[in-house]
Chains A and B, each alone.
Chain A
Amino acid sequence: MTTLTATPLAAPITLTRMMHDAPATTRAALALIFLSLPFFGALALDVRTIADLNPWIKPLKFSASLALYLLTLSWFAYLLPDRIRQDRRFRIYVMVVLSCIALEMLWIAGAAFVGTTSHFNVSTPFWAASYTLMGLAAVTLTSASLVWGWIIWRNQRGRFSRLVAASLVMTFVLTLPTAGYLSAHGSHFVGTAMSDAGGLWPFGWSREIGDLRVAHFFATHTMQIVPLAYAILLWLAGARLPKGTGTGLTAAFSVFTLATFLQALDGKPFLGAL
């Protein structure tokens, strides 16, 4: 165990290991990936547009990112103590998180299916109620990053586990305000409401005005980007990294995320020159 956590490159986690450590989240991730196949097909066939974009782009973005989220949680499950992973309350919590993810996908894909928007759609009592409910579901499913991070921190096994814990907690800490502001703002644009088309590839972020999705993206992917950056630095260095590298990386990335948030609030695009 200590060799494993001493360096993340020593013994990479395999799918088999993830299936053993976190069967529910791993299976759910694979199910989401499988579900993406008809979405891809629909993307190729559907001639409708919603805000100038193919209706199936959004469901695909969400199925991909939620699958990645679950796979990351499954990957890091090796740092959760056995007794917690097997605890009934923990397993019930995981089921609640997965149910929230299922509901989110149903809502987003359902809206695309009938040719309307999911987010910010308050056009009828049904859609307005759905939007509120899905907000609650989103906070609940994101809480898994906090719960994972907290447990790993409390049961830390070396530097990398501390970094993972910090990245997970910062994912939650950064996502809540960026996503919360986004959902209350009524639109992801800061500035004159324009077409969704012609945005920065591959996400479609505005290249002309502020786009609140940028900060939301970086916030939600803190848990992948920071540990990955650390692992790459470790591999490049070929030896132990200086003390404080993990803290530095986490802090720098958090500042970067906040900076993109402020940039969007200022009405400025991310990488607008490109």
Chain B
Amino acid sequence: MSPDVLFSIANPVALLGWIGLAMWPLARRPIMILCGCAIPLVFSIAYASCILAYWASAQGGYDSLPNVMLLFDTPGIALAGWIHYLAFDLAVGGWIVRDAHRSGIAHWLTLPSLALTFLFGPVGLLLHVALRALTYLRTPHPA
């Protein structure tokens, strides 16, 4: 299997995960298990496979930006990086859904956070944290 083929499989799978998270209230437990747990786990295994297969032949490193760019010049490593994003963004998405539920935030309010996490990772997380802060400030707490 070439990196391109794995890439073309990974993207639709990630999309499936995100659609699932968006529709979480329809079937909470199965969706969370599949989209918040199983799919990120599968991506993690795929990531590990990429590192095992491609790391030793790659050049560059983590110590400088040019070296990181050199690292990602290897298609297999770039793919690993992409799968890393897919895995962790989806894991964070699952956490956002659960965290919102625990904090009494309506699920539809998390949809922008989910969309932004899907597209721009940490930005979605920032939005959720801001939402949590607002909710906390609006709720009366003992002094």
Contact = CB atoms under 8 A, between A and B. Distances in A.
Q: Do A and B come from one complex?
A: yes
B45 A45 contact: no
A38 interface: yes
B48 A41 contact: yes
Contacts of A47: 53
Contacts of B49: 37-42, 44-45
Contacts of A150: none
Contacts of B53: 41-42, 45-47, 56
Interface in A35-71: 37-42, 44-48, 56
A56 B52 contact: yes
B27 interface: no
A159 to B, nearest CB: 44
Interface in B69-88: 76
A38 B56 contact: no
A45 B1 contact: yes
A113 interface: yes
B46 interface: yes
A114 interface: yes
A46 B45 contact: no
A78 to B, nearest CB: 32
B57 interface: yes
Contacts of A37: 45, 49
Contact of B54 (A45, A109, A114): A45
A199 interface: no
Nearest to B46: A41
* Interface size of B as a range: 10 to 19
A175 to B, nearest CB: 29
A109 B50 CA distance: 14
B108 interface: no
A115 interface: yes
A182 B116 CA distance: 58
A39 B49 CA distance: 6
Given A45-B1, A45-B6, A113 B52 contact: yes
B54 to A, nearest CB: 7
B52 A42 contact: yes
Contacts of B76: 45
B55 interface: yes
Nearest to A47: B53
Contacts of B46: 41
B57 A38 contact: no
A109 B56 CA distance: 13
B54 A41 contact: no
B86 to A, nearest CB: 15
A44 B6 CA distance: 10
Nearest to B76: A45
Contacts of B50: 41-42, 45
A114 B56 contact: yes
Contacts of A41: 45-46, 48-50, 52-53
A39 B45 CA distance: 9
A217 B46 CA distance: 31
Interface string B21-53: 000000000000000000000000110111011
Contact of A113 (B3, B45, B56): B56
**Residue of B53, B54, B76 with highest tally of chain A CB at under 10 A:** B53
A48 B57 CA distance: 9
Q: Lowest 3 A-B CB distances belong to which pairs?
A: A41-B49, A42-B52, A38-B48
Interface of A: 37-42, 44-48, 56, 109, 112-115
8 contacts: A37-B49, A42-B50, A44-B1, A45-B6, A45-B49, A46-B54, A56-B52, A113-B52
Given A41-B45, A41-B52, A46-B54, 19 more contacts: A37-B45, A38-B45, A38-B48, A41-B46, A41-B53, A42-B49, A42-B50, A44-B1, A44-B49, A45-B6, A45-B49, A45-B53, A48-B56, A56-B53, A112-B52, A113-B55, A114-B56, A115-B56, A115-B57
